[in-house]
Amino acid sequence: MAEALKTRVSRPIARGEKHQRILDAAISVIAEKGFFQARVSEIAERAGVADGTIYLYFKNKEQILMAAIDSAFAAFLERARAAVSDAAMPPEQRLSRLCQLHLETLGGNRDLALVFQTELRQSARFLAQFSRTRLVEYFDLIRSLVREAQSAGRFRPDISDKIAANCFFGAIDEMVTSWMLSEHQYSLAGAADAVMNVILKGMENRPPAE
């Protein structure tokens, strides 16, 4: 079963524009149909390739989904690391930039948001694999910024960086879900300042009252 969840086939295949078209098509079709109703033939048609071409890259639909999610999140992590790389910027400001980027990324691609918020979580296997890899990297990035803010005396030292990262991610994640379910159109990224105000105020290292 573990073998079936790997995102790479055993023989080397050149990755390029066609491979990316398949991944993008998978996100689109799965967001529209749901993972269990989506067919590989539909993904191939949306990508503009023959059905057989899909199997040059992937063994089955599970691999396609996991590869699409992994690729999208890897691209997000690369942008996230770049966004918080300025060591001269206060760590809490870099956390705010991270929040903004998270909401902008999913708010700008509803299909991707649907796959992340619903399809990924419908399978314990998918979620476990994703959590062991990409999500751990994301949480490590958040935790490092929290610890940096604590070392600088900006955040309360008594807060667990792990709990802080869970709260940070959970608040943003819930904003994405709420936006997806809302009957009203609004900018998801526009909520970033309000979300970070709540989070940062809770972690702020205030001087003791006299």
pLDDT digits (tens, 9 = 90+) for 30-51: 999 999 999 999 999 999 999 9
Instruction: List the beta bridge partners of residue 155.
Output: 204
Q: What are the structure tokens assigned to 27, written together?
A: 């996100």
Q: Give the best-scoring range by mean pLDDT among 99-103, 113-117, 200-204.
A: 99-103
pLDDT of residue 91: 96
Statement: residue 1 has pLDDT above 90: no
Share of the chain above pLDDT 90, in %: 74
Instruction: List the beta bridge partners of residue 204.
Output: 155
Matching residue, tokens 């400001």 = 93
Statement: residue 12 has pLDDT above 60: no
Domains and CATH numbers, the chain: 3-203 (1.10.357.10)
pTM above 0.75, yes or no: yes
Residue pair 76/99 in contact by the 8 Å Cβ criterion: no
Confidence of residue 208 (pLDDT cuts 50, 70, 90): low
Rounded distance between C-alpha atoms, residue 53 and residue 41, angstroms: 10
Statement: residue 5 has pLDDT above 80: no
